[in-house]
Chain A
Amino acid sequence: MERYNRHIILSEIGQTGQNKLSKAKVLVVGAGGLGCPVLQYLTAAGVGTIGVMDFDIVETSNLQRQVLFGTSSLGKNKAEAAKSRLLDLNDTITINSYPEKLTFQNAIDLFNQFDIIVDGTDNFETRYLINDACVICNKPLVFGAIYKFQGQVSVFNYDNGPSFRCAFPKKPKKDAVPNCSEVGVIGVLPGIIGSMQANEVLKIILGIGHVLSGKILFYDTLKNQTTILTVKKSEAEIQKVLLNKNEFHKQQFENHCRVDEPGISIKEILNKANIQFIDVREPHELPKVEGVPVTRIPLSELENYLEKVSIDKEKAIFCQSGIRSKQAVSILKQNNIYDCCSINDGALEINRYIKELNKQAANE
């Protein structure tokens, strides 16, 4: 076949290897920064059946790195938009799109329909779910994850090797590690890490080379540095998952939105007396709020500096957009510090409002 000629003339692949690719079924969870390059290369390589799952829609800020999408995809579901681009790349394969969230309820049935699962998601909750479902279904998991300028790649549950929990047994607390939308990411990084994931998928299908199982690869784009660390299998971690097998589908995601913590507006808070304003943004974030005394404790450090939080004043917490301030309120409550509220307005709006008030006062 002309299309796969450059594969077929490789002695390591040949027609036999290409036939293996066309019979393979791979599910890619997440069609974002990592999912796009994975999908692109698996489709081009002629992997016979590809599943693409994503509930999200394409936004302008995705286009800096999610290379399957263009301006014509904006507002469309990512799984659907990816499918239509991929079918243009290769219409000889089957592509199934799943424009929905992966859940504890749908994971097992879905994973059972594929040979290999690729993790291109962006949060720990889903990553641990994927790992556990792969352990239960006994499917290899090709893992990739990124942070700013650095990435991680590994293959878990492959050929009796370790699982993700063997490397990282403890699921980090939610919000412990910020995601790309909060801290940024260099666009080419998911391209590199996703391509490495696609490479591992092809090696597994073809049975060539050394699969990155029992190892975790770190890549630093700024230093061009690769570090490969060995991960030992922990039978206990794997058994924990298997013992809970029958309970798996009954689990639910932890509540992402803390809807029980309604915020307050800057206008309301300024009508009150005896208030401590707390800025939970990182030190470099601008603008600084001026016109009221502000205590600065970044959210990441909050639990270490609880002594800075006033006991006798009402605490009004703010950040850039009203999201971290809500998290701060729940952290304080967990530490038995009450009488706190989150300001819905971000620092910019707070400054604007205070300036406006001062202007009015000067005019009176």
Chain B
Amino acid sequence: MLITIKYFGLLAEVTNCEEEIIDFSGSRISELLEELYTKYSSLKNKDFQVAQNQELAPFETAILSKEIVLLPPFSGG
């Protein structure tokens, strides 16, 4: 399944792209993250949440959407 992944904030600097399409055969968000950690080793040290269908979703959730957003908390003010 082709999934569009969007990276917000400094995650886009880790992956060097704001969005990409990857061919993913697993079923859960956590499996997708494992794949991304292999591709981008320093992503593992970052704090972020994952959203699908415009909703924050726990990592063990099954992937139900073709668009996944990785979003970190911002701290600047």
Choose, from A31-39, A106-114, A255-263, the stretch at the interface: A31-39
How far, in whole Å, are A228 and B47 apart by their CA atoms in the complex?
A: 19
Q: A146-B74, A176-B47 are in contact. List 8 more A-B contacts (CB 8 A).
A: A119-B77, A147-B9, A147-B74, A172-B47, A176-B46, A179-B75, A232-B55, A232-B56
Contact of B51 among A122, A190, A229, A303 (CB under 8 A): A229
Interface string of A225-252 (1 = CB under 8 A from B): 0011111100000000000000000000
Report the minimum CB–CB distance from B25 to chain A (whole Å). Answer: 26
Query: Once the chains bind, are A177 and B49 in contact (CB under 8 Å)?
Result: no
Interface string of A21-40 (1 = CB under 8 A from B): 00000000010111100000
Q: Please, could you name 19 A-B residue pairs with CB atoms under 8 Å apart, sorted by A? A: A33-B77, A119-B77, A123-B75, A124-B75, A127-B75, A145-B76, A147-B74, A147-B75, A147-B76, A150-B9, A167-B49, A168-B49, A168-B73, A177-B73, A229-B51, A229-B56, A229-B71, A232-B55, A304-B42
Q: A interface vs B, CB < 8 Å?
A: 30, 32-35, 119-124, 127, 144-148, 150-152, 167-168, 170, 172-173, 176-180, 185, 190, 216, 218, 227-232, 300-301, 303-304
Q: Which 8 A-B pairs have the closest CB atoms?
A: A145-B74, A122-B77, A172-B47, A230-B55, A147-B74, A146-B76, A168-B73, A34-B77
Let me know if B45 is at the binding interface, CB within 8 A.
Answer: yes
Report the minimum CB–CB distance from B52 to chain A (whole Å). Answer: 10
Q: Please, which residue of chain B has its CB at the minimum distance from the CB of A298?
A: B42
Contact of A304 among B45, B47, B69, B77 (CB under 8 A): B45
How far, in whole Å, are A170 and B51 apart by their CA atoms in the complex?
A: 16
Query: Once the chains bind, are B55 and A177 in contact (CB under 8 Å)?
Result: no
Q: Which residues of A contact B54 (CB under 8 A)?
A: 227-230
Query: Once the chains bind, are A218 and B71 in contact (CB under 8 Å)?
Result: yes
**A-B pairs with beta carbons under 8 A, tally:** 94
Contact of A147 among B10, B41, B42, B47 (CB under 8 A): B10
Q: Which residues of A contact B49 (CB under 8 A)?
A: 167-168
Query: Once the chains bind, are B77 and A30 in contact (CB under 8 Å)?
Result: yes
Query: Once the chains bind, are B8 and A150 in contact (CB under 8 Å)?
Result: yes
Interface string of B63-77 (1 = CB under 8 A from A): 000000101111111
How far, in whole Å, are A151 and B51 apart by their CA atoms in the complex?
A: 17
The B14-47 residues at the A interface (CB cut-off 8 A) are 14, 41-42, 44-47
Query: Once the chains bind, are A177 and B77 in contact (CB under 8 Å)?
Result: no
Report the minimum CB–CB distance from B16 to chain A (whole Å). Answer: 11
Q: Which residues of A contact B8 (CB under 8 A)?
A: 150, 218
Query: Once the chains bind, are A146 and B69 in contact (CB under 8 Å)?
Result: no
Query: Once the chains bind, are B69 and A229 in contact (CB under 8 Å)?
Result: yes
Report the minimum CB–CB distance from B58 to chain A (whole Å). Answer: 9
How far, in whole Å, are A97 and B60 apart by their CA atoms in the complex?
A: 46
Query: Once the chains bind, are B76 and A303 in contact (CB under 8 Å)?
Result: no
**Given A167-B49, A218-B8, A230-B56, A152:B73 Cβ within 8 A:** yes
Q: Which residues of A contact B74 (CB under 8 A)?
A: 145-147, 150-152, 177
Report the minimum CB–CB distance from A214 to chain B (whole Å). Answer: 10
